[in-house]
Amino acid sequence: MLEKIDGIVISEQNYGETSKIVNLLTRDYGIIGLMVKGGRSLKSPLRSVSGKLTYGTFNVYYKKDKLSILSDVSVINNFTNIKKDIELISYASYLTDLATQVVRHGRDEDVFDLLIASLSKIEEGFSPAVITNILELKYLDNLGVLPVLDRCVDCGSTDNIVTLSSDRGGYVCANCRTTEPLISSKAIKLIRMYYYVDINKIDNIDVSPEATSEINDFLNNYYERYTGLYLKSKSFLNSLKNI
């Protein structure tokens, strides 16, 4: 039976001489595998609409827990601006890898829609570093390990929050701080805002490189400590930033 499934291609591999198999992250079915018959042939209409990062409505002969077959695709967004820039491609690859792992290890509610919203904002020209940090923070909720961002993680005070601690799991106030380095009040306020912001409604981003670096360092350490996820695409992205 032919079904219309909204999804984004997260990976592809060759199959036989002219076909390929793609993995599709979807809103309703999680991750499904699709056989794209003749999808590598230059004459195939499926060639240009089944590559990685293609977001669209896929007409699929769906088979639960088996390899489904792709019929055709109505493309919603091909993320052409992202695909022109190696740095943006690196961010997008990391975000799709992260979404894949969140679906496999956590609650998949909203994972797809948050990913599409994030890629769309990067496509529109918004800071990929900031958008990535926003999505990383929101996905921690799906993974069940969201840091404490409304009070001191030790005493519960909402006053005089002076730093973020990945070891202790969130905000730390001046009275409870020991050896943790201080971070800017801007970063402390922003990371809480990141959790609540609707990515689709972002129309302006004004975050200093310093605050971005502070938040990114916290999230990197937090992911390493609490999620157990290791993504090669993240390591590559970090190495790219250091060039």
Q: How far is CA 227 from CA 27, 114, 193, in A?
A: 23, 19, 22
Tens digit of each residue's pLDDT (9 = 90 or more) over 112-160:
999 999 999 999 999 999 999 999 999 999 999 999 999 999 999 999 9
Q: Which of 10, 43, 78 is the last residue of a domain?
A: 78
User: What is the per-residue pLDDT for 242?
Assistant: 64
Helices (H), the chain: 80-83, 86-105, 111-124, 128-142, 185-196, 209-226, 232-241
**Tens digits of residue pLDDT in 214-228:** 999 999 999 999 998
The residue out of 52, 78, 104 marking a domain boundary is 78
**Are 181 and 72 in a shared domain?**
no
Query: Are 184 and 169 found together in one domain?
Result: yes
My answer on whether 71 and 94 are in the same domain is no
Q: What is the pTM of this model?
A: 0.93
Same domain, 14 and 112: no
**End of a domain among 78, 111, 133?**
78
State which residues form the domain around 20: 2-78
Claim to verify: residue 98 and residue 165 sit in the same structural domain: yes
pLDDT of 181 higher than 60: yes
Considering the domain architecture, whether residues 195 and 89 belong to the same structural domain is answered as yes
Do 143 and 23 reside in the same domain of the chain?
no
Q: Are residues 13 and 128 in the same domain?
A: no
Q: Clarify whether residues 66 and 49 are in a common domain.
A: yes
- Asked whether residue 47 carries a pLDDT value surpassing 60, the answer given is yes
pLDDT at 185 exceeding the cut of 80: yes
Q: CATH code at 187?
A: 1.20.1440.120
Number of domains observed in the structure of the chain: 2
